[in-house]
Amino acid sequence: MEKNQYIVAFEIGSSKIVGAIADKSSSGYITVRMLEEERLINSVRHGEVKNVENIKGAINRILRRLESRINGRITDVFVGISGRSLHSDNTEASRDLDSSNAITDQIIERIIQESMRTTSSNYDTIDVVPRAYYVDNKETDSPSGQFGSKISIKLNRIVAKPAIKISLKRVMDPTIEVRQYIVTPLAAADEILSPEEKSLGCMFVDMGAETTEVSIYKNGSLLYFTTLPLGGRNITKDIENGLSIIESDAERVKKNIHNPLEFSNESINIEGVNSADAAQFISARAGEIIANIIRQISYANLNNEDIKTIVVIGGGATLQGFNKKLEEVAKINVRTGTIPPTLNILDHSINRPEYIQIFSLLVKGAELLPEGESCVDIPTYDDGVGFRVKTPQKPEPVQEPEIEGKKPTKKPKKSKWKFFSDKLGSLLQEGDDETM
């Protein structure tokens, strides 16, 4: 019986750190097995880690809890990347060809990989997304198999300030390999948007606590991507500062006002705050965020009529009435992104929209993981139903009869797995700088 491949992914956000494990069957079916999280404030700002020790401790605790649930060792992870400086940079790559030979997938991949290695003094290249293909200056959907003397590819280089990747490397356990950094909002868009939406024209909005990522698709390809330095926490901070209350109370006020973006004479008391007063701050900041989202359409050299749908995800966009107001202002149909029904999530308690990003990272990781490889090392499997793992049982010690003149039998050495497991537990304990 073939063993399933196990995928481990981490999302390091401004409000929480999430780690999860999924498995991929030999038929390609993906099942989310478990998820662990730690909520932290002010340790990550706009996608960049500010408190390395806090984040490192949180990641180690999540790793330890995941490993204890699978009775195994996590060896590799996929890490989502997002942040204020993340955006697309349009470029083009070309190559002269021998027209007597057909263009192959390998040629196309080499051109893309060469573009990945393109760097600048200010930005790192995180990913490269093809936008359009041309063979002998004629656009084509699929150049593979065609003949021509020149191939050109219009590309979106997804770039970010080097500090984002550097800070992520600092917080990961050095004994665990980061398989690949995945651009979180683009992975989510690939799972949530339909081919028809990408073809007709679609804006994908991931509104988080401190940033809002906007990606625009047209004719089936990514056309534009940027990150706005605004999110749901900006609204909370406006209430906190404007009404002189603590941030946790301001967050509760924000969540409990019924449709704060619509004018209402109704006024109720929430956490000692007049709802009408709080609604003014909410409406003003939400209006600014909406205006900035819509403005990206013109920055992508499109008109509002070119976009048929806006799809919104993220905790910041759970503000009551936000999607309705966005639809009214943009005059474009708006829907909330949902978890793909093809993804099997065993634990119904985690089957929630707030985890849509980590689920998307798991699916993308499953696509990238080579066949036969896994992110988890489990020494013994139970081939029965489910994700059960047999824990190796220690054999009972056997008392050998003492023979006069015979030297005592040496104690058996620890197995390599036991030695590594004990060592890993010690390392994780040292990295745990906070109590659970």
- Nearest CA-CA partner of 251 in 228, 267, 229, 273: 273
What is the model's pLDDT at position 390? 37
**pLDDT value at position 236?**
95
Per-residue confidence band for 165, with pLDDT thresholds at 50, 70 and 90: confident
- pLDDT greater than 80 at residue 159: yes
- Classify residue 316 by its DSSP letter: G
Residue 394: pLDDT band by 50, 70, 90 thresholds? very low
- pLDDT at residue 400 in the model: 45
Cα separation, 158 vs 368, whole angstroms: 18
pLDDT classification of 265: cutoffs 50, 70, 90: low
Cα(105)–Cα(272) distance, integer angstroms: 63
* Of 23-27, 85-89, 118-122, the least confident: 118-122
More confident position, 356 or 40: 356
Q: List the CATH code of the domain at 87-160.
A: 3.30.1490.110
Phi/psi at 212 (nearest 5 deg)?
-130, 115
Residue scoring higher pLDDT (398 or 92) = 92
CB atoms inside a 10 Å sphere around CB 277: 13
Amino acid 436: pLDDT: 34
Terminal alpha carbon distance of the chain? 39
pLDDT category of residue 2 using cuts at 50, 70 and 90: low
**Confidence band for 267, pLDDT divided at 50, 70 and 90:** confident
Q: Judging by DSSP bridges, how do beta strands 212-218 and 202-207 pair with one another?
A: antiparallel
Check if the beta carbon of residue 84 is closer than 8 Å to that of residue 209. no
The model's confidence at residue 380, banded by pLDDT at 50, 70 and 90, is: low
Alpha carbon dihedral 190, 193, 194, 195, in 10-degree steps, equals: -60
- Residue ranges, comma separated, of all CATH 3.30.420.40 domains in the chain are 5-83+163-193+341-377, 197-336
Q: Where in the chain is the domain with CATH 3.30.1490.110?
A: 87-160
Residue 295's contacts (CB-CB under 8 Å, 6 or more residues apart) are none
Distance from C-alpha of 241 to C-alpha of 328, rounded to nearest angstrom: 29
Report residue 92: phi and psi, to 5°: -140, 140
Question: What mean pLDDT is reported for the chain?
Answer: 86
Amino acid at 259: N
Would you say the C-alpha torsion 393, 67, 417, 57 has a positive or negative sign? negative
**Under CATH, what is the fold of the domain 197-336?**
Nucleotidyltransferase; domain 5 (3.30.420)
Partners of residue 12 on adjacent β-strands: 17
pLDDT in tens, 397-435: 444 444 444 444 444 444 444 444 454 444 444 444 443
pLDDT at 428: 40
The string of pLDDT tens digits covering residues 174-199 is 899 999 999 999 999 999 999 999 99
Residues near 206 by Cβ (< 8 Å), separated by ≥ 6? 82, 184, 185, 188, 212, 213, 313, 314, 357
pLDDT digits (tens, 9 = 90+) for 11-24: 998 889 999 999 99
Tokens of 262: 């619509």
What confidence tens digit (pLDDT) does each residue in 279-322 have?
A: 999 999 999 999 999 999 999 999 999 999 999 999 888 899 99
Instruction: Quote the pLDDT of residue 406.
Output: 47
Q: Kindly state which CATH superfamily the domain 5-83+163-193+341-377 is placed in.
A: ATPase, nucleotide binding domain (3.30.420.40)
DSSP designation for 305: G
Query: With 80 as the cut, is the pLDDT of residue 363 above it?
Result: yes
Proportion of the chain above pLDDT 90, given as a percent: 62
Asked if residues 105 and 144 have their Cβ atoms less than 8 Å apart, the reply is yes
pLDDT (tens digit per residue) in 333-347:
999 999 887 789 989
CA distances from 425 to 222, 283, 370, 390, 435 (A): 43, 49, 28, 19, 16
The confidence score (pLDDT) of residue 49 equals: 85
Overall size of the chain counted in residues: 436
- Largest Cα separation within the chain, whole Å, is 99
